[in-house]
C-alpha cells in the first residue's frame, strides 16, 4: 500500500507523458470526490470507462516496439522444474494454439466478476489469472473479499452499467427504495448516501430482502439533483442513456449490488514476485493491497 500511495502521482504523470488525457483546470489535475474518500483525490481520465486510462499505455507499447498479440486467450502456464517459462494461448480468431516461451510471465488478468450472474465487469474478466496461478501452485489469499457496487438493472439495456461515481452521491445523487423512502436515513442518519460501497450494498440488500424493492427488484437511483455540468462530464454514460431514450437528469434508474472488484488474489511481494520463479502478478489479480475493502478510485 505504501508503494502504491507513494508512487501513484509519478505514475499518473507517466501516463500523461504517454498521452493519456486527464481532466484538468489549467495545468492542475482536478481531483474528483469519490465515495468513501475523505478528500477529493480521484484523477479522472477523459472517457474513463472507455479506454481513457490505457490509451497512453497502448501508445507507449507501440512506441517501444513491443510485440502485441491481440485476441489471444492464455489457457495454461508452462512450468519447468519450479519455474514458469512461458504460456499456452488460443488465438481466438484462427483457433490456433500458440506456445509462447518467456523469461518472465506477468499475470495482469484482472478480477473475476463474471463468476457472478450480475457484475460490472466486462465479459473477458472471469478469474483466469487465479486459475492459471493456482495450477502452477502459486499462493492465493483473501479470495472471499469481493466488493459489490451500485449497478444498473433498469433501463434493461443498461443492465450491469455502474452509474458514474456510485450514483454521483457526492454531488447530490440519492437512493430510494420501492416505497420511495430515502432509506439511507434509517441506516446512516448523518452520512446518508455518503458511505463506502460495502455499506451502500449491504443497506440496499437489506431493503431488497425486506421486500421494499423497485419494480425491477432493486433500489431507485436519482440523479435529478446532480448539477448538469458534473453529470455531463460522464459523456459516454450520458450518450449511452440518450441512445436508450433515457434521460437521467429527471428519470430514476434502478440498481442492485453487482460484483465489482476482487481484493484477494495472487500473493506477491513488493517486486510483484509470486514465489514461483519467473511468475509475477500485477493489478487486480494480485492480493493484499486493498485489505478487505478497496476504497473507490484506488485500483
Ligand atoms: C465499470 C468499471 C468501473 C471502474 N471504475 C473504477 C474507478 O473509477 N477507479 C478505480 O480505481 N477502479 C475502477 N474500477 C476497477 C478497475 O478498473 C480494475 O480494478 C482495474 O482495471 C484492474 O486492472 P487490471 O489491469 O488488473 O485488469 P483489467 O483492466 O481487468 O484487465 C484484465 C485484462 O486481462 C485480459 N485477460 C483476462 N483473462 C485472460 C486470459 N486468459 N488470456 C489473455 N488475456 C486475459 C482481459 O481481456 C483484460 O484485457 C472499475 C472497474 C469497472 C469494471
Residue ranges covered by each domain of the chain: 2-63, 72-144+263-285, 146-259
pLDDT tens profile 183-229 = 999 999 999 999 999 999 999 999 999 999 999 999 999 999 999 99
Question: Can you say whether residue 279 is alpha, beta or left, with left for phi > 0 and alpha for psi between -120 and 50 degrees?
Answer: beta
Q: Which residues form the catalytic set? A: 197
CATH class label, 72-144+263-285? alpha beta
Query: If you take atom 18 of ligand 1, which residue's CA is the nearest one?
Result: 299
Sign of CA dihedral 151, 153, 155, 160: positive
**146-259 placed in CATH 3.50.50.60:** no
H helices of the chain, where? 2-17, 54-63, 128-135, 164-168, 184-187, 197-209, 228-231, 235-243
Query: If you take atom 33 of ligand 1, which residue's CA is the nearest one?
Result: 109
Within 6 A (CB) of ligand 1 lie 49, 73-74, 108-110, 120-121, 124-125, 128, 162, 261, 283-285, 297-299
Q: How far is it, in rounded angstroms, from Cα 271 to Cα 163?
A: 35
- Atom of ligand 1 at shortest range from CA of 165: 8
- Which pLDDT does position 128 carry in this prediction? 98
ipTM above 0.95 for this complex: yes
- Atom of ligand 1 at shortest range from CA of 162: 1
Residue labelled with grid coordinates 455502474: 162
Strands 219-222 and 253-262: antiparallel
- Which pLDDT does position 32 carry in this prediction? 84
Per-residue pLDDT band at 51 (split at 50, 70, 90): low
Which of the two residues, 30 and 218, has the higher pLDDT score? 218
pLDDT tens profile 223-252 = 999 999 999 988 889 999 999 999 999 999
Q: What is the separation, in whole angstroms, between the first and last Cα of the chain?
A: 11
Fold agreement between 72-144+263-285 and 146-259: no
Amino acid at each position: 500500500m505504501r508503494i502504491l500511495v507513494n508512487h501513484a502521482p509519478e505514475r499518473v504523470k507517466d501516463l500523461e507523458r504517454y498521452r493519456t488525457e486527464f481532466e484538468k483546470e489549467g495545468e492542475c489535475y482536478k481531483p474528483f470526490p469519490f465515495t468513501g474518500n475523505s478528500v477529493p483525490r480521484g484523477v479522472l481520465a477523459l472517457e474513463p470507462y472507455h479506454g481513457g486510462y490505457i490509451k497512453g499505455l497502448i501508445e507507449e507499447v507501440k512506441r517501444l516496439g513491443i510485440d502485441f498479440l491481440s485476441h489471444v486467450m492464455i489457457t495454461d502456464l508452462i512450468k519447468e522444474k519450479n519455474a514458469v517459462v512461458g504460456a499456452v494461448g488460443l488465438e481466438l480468431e484462427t483457433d490456433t494454439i500458440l506456445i509462447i516461451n518467456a523469461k518472465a510471465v506477468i499475470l495482469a488478468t484482472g478480477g473475476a466478476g463474471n463468476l457472478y450472474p450480475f457484475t460490472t465487469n466486462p465479459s473477458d474478466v472471469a478469474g483466469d489469472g487465479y486459475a492459471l496461478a493456482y495450477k502452477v501452485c502459486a499462493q492465493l489469499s483473501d479470495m472471499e473479499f469481493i466488493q459489490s457496487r451500485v449497478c444498473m438493472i433498469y433501463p434493461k439495456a443498461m443492465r450491469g452499467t455502474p452509474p458514474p461515481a456510485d450514483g454521483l452521491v457526492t454531488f447530490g445523487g440519492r437512493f430510494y427504495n420501492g416505497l420511495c423512502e430515502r432509506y439511507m436515513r434509517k441506516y446512516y442518519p448523518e452520512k446518508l448516501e455518503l458511505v463506502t460501497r460495502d455499506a451502500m450494498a449491504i443497506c440496499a440488500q437489506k431493503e431488497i430482502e425486506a421486500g421494499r424493492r423497485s419494480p425491477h427488484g432493486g433500489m431507485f437511483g436519482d440523479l435529478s439533483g446532480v448539477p448538469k455540468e458534473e453529470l455531463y462530464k460522464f459523456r459516454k454514460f450520458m450518450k449511452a442513456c440518450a441512445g436508450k431514450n433515457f434521460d437521467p437528469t429527471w428519470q430514476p434508474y434502478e440498481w442492485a449490488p453487482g460484483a465489482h472488484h476482487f481484493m484477494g488474489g495472487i500473493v506477491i511481494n513488493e517486486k510483484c514476485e509470486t514465489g514461483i520463479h519467473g511468475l509475477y502478478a500485477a493489478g487486480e489479480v494480485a492480493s493484499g493491497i486493498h485489505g478487505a475493502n478497496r476504497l473507490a478510485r484506488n485500483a
